[in-house]
Amino acid sequence: MALMPNRIALRIIQAGAIAVVLVVTTLHVFELDRFFVPKELVLHLTAALAGLLVIRALWRMSVTRVDLFLAGYLALGALSALMATNRWLAMRALAVSASGIILFWVARTMRDAGLVRPLLHALALAVVVAAATSLLQTYGVDIDFFSENRAPGGTLGNRNFIAHVAAFGFSLLLLAALHAQRRAAYLRWAIGTALVIASLVLTRSRAAWLAFIAVMLVVLVAMLVSAPLRRDRKTWKRLAGIVLIAGLVVALSLVLPNALHWHGKNPYLESVQRVAEYSEGSGRGRLVQYGRSLLMSVRHPLFGVGPGNWPVVYPSRVPANDPSLDQTNGGMTSNPWPSSDWIACISERGIAAFVLLALFFFRLAITGLRQLKRAIDVQEALAAAALLGIVAGAAVAGTFDAVLLLAVPAFLIWTAFGALWIPEETSSPRAWGFAIVAILAMSIYGAVRSTSQLIAMDIYATRSDRASLVRAAQIDPGNFRLRLRLARMGGRARCENARAAHALFPSARVAAEVARGCGK
């Protein structure tokens, strides 16, 4: 029977899963961070509160190689952050990883307490909610909580982010639908699955399409390999029903007039034809970026350039015509992350950290295969198939885009991993409890940091007097745009703020300009 702390922690994670999808600010001057920062705050608060509630269970948790891989990965990231050029960005990125891993461990305690089913249902519902916001924007709903720049991103602000969630989240929806005990529940989950697939198609995100193909192949092979699934007619009938409903919903979504302004006569067919293109366009840009980012890792092989510091260092290592650079803001990148989780890990945290993260994924996949082979009933086999599907989806999507670097997918993926994975070998290192406390402290720091960022962003967007802006800079010293604004206002502190801005992004042309004449 689950203890009260476990049940409260479950409710916190359930609420957090929906909140991390929906929460947005209307501070349009911060077009990216108005989505990122509040979602990171929800991630950190959920991880910290749930972790503190079950800290006794975490302290006594049986430790596996997978856990040691993750602890080592975070430890190397922390060392890298201490040496980073921009430590504010470094600690922010490190906190996202820490909170995700805390949720992984908390989800394991939920499974041990017999609460895995409602936990997984909450994650699946969050995926449907994300898809629903994307579909609302697709068909003409225009509210301040959506972004027009990369529609249909819904409350995630970017069509690619919605597509990533839909790709790996398909496994969660499939698990909920195939394992539903009542027909009405099955129909609800089947319709939810169809909506998620429709949103994925409408985003035209080729990276997510590849991830979805990988998920489908893995799940289908798993169902054929597992004897309980292969022989269960009810499961196959339900799967056929999901395919039929999804086909109808996707066809309808493509026929209905929408508010998207794609170029070309048949934009969806064009995207299908270019799904693996790498000789030109964004595919070519990714290859260039990957190669030059890996050269950065050669110069910083042990600890990388620091978590979150790829946009700080990359502009100084590449020519001015690099496709990843922002051509309107010299010395800055177009996106604050590289187009790959794996490239980000190698270049920002070092080769050793990348190896540990890769070993984590590899070990998870191997254990999932063993769970699949040993499954004695349909329920166990479905859980193993879902785990393998999420591993495949996260790995493939993370090869071509940022996934685990962001709050929403980090929340959903890490929690799902913890709920579905069943550890094999265990040990009990003496220092484990202290490691848990240290990682929880990172999550709490992340919550404080995100709160500070939101307060400073609000002041920046709503105030113009020097006193308010100075107070905002004291609250969030790592706010680059705030430092630039204060430097441009002149006064006695002009050089102080100009040097601070230049220290945050040394390659930025605008920072060099405002710092001219201020010395070092």
Instruction: Supply the pTM of this predicted model.
Output: 0.96
pLDDT band for position 358 (50/70/90)?
A: very high
How many angstroms separate the most distant Cα atoms in the chain?
A: 77
Q: Which secondary-structure segment (H or E) carries 80?
A: helix 65-82
Note the pLDDT of residue 137.
Answer: 95
Cβ contact 450:93 at 8 Å: no
- Count other C-beta atoms under 10 Å from residue 313's C-beta: 25
Is residue 436 predicted with pLDDT exceeding 90?
A: yes
Mean pLDDT of the chain: 92
Q: What is the mean pLDDT of residues 171-194?
A: 96
Note the pLDDT of residue 279.
Answer: 54
How far apart are the C-alpha atoms of 70 and 414, rounded to whole Å? 11
| % the chain with pLDDT above 90 | 81
Note the pLDDT of residue 148.
Answer: 83
Is residue 131 predicted with pLDDT exceeding 80?
A: yes
Is residue 520 predicted with pLDDT exceeding 70?
A: no
Note the pLDDT of residue 26.
Answer: 94
- CA 289 from chain center: how many Å? 20
Note the pLDDT of residue 262.
Answer: 74
Tell me the CA distances in angstroms from 296 to 178, 196, 290, one per residue in order: 46, 38, 10
- Long-range CB contacts for residues 73-78, cutoff 8 Å, separation at least 24: 73/97, 73/349, 73/353, 73/356, 73/357, 73/360, 74/98, 74/101, 74/439, 74/442, 76/303, 76/349, 76/350, 76/352, 76/353, 76/356, 77/307, 77/349, 77/353, 78/442
- Find residue 427's DSSP bridge partners: 63
Note the pLDDT of residue 160.
Answer: 94
Domain layout of the chain by residue ranges = 4-278+335-443, 465-520
Radius of gyration of the chain measured on its C-alpha atoms: 23
Q: Is 235 left (phi over 0), alpha (psi -120 to 50) or beta?
A: alpha
Is residue 283 predicted with pLDDT exceeding 80?
A: no
| % the chain with pLDDT above 70 | 95
Nearest C-alpha neighbor of 221 from the set 379, 385, 366: 385
Cβ contact 37:404 at 8 Å: no
How far apart are the C-alpha atoms of 167 and 397, rounded to whole Å? 8
Note the pLDDT of residue 265.
Answer: 66
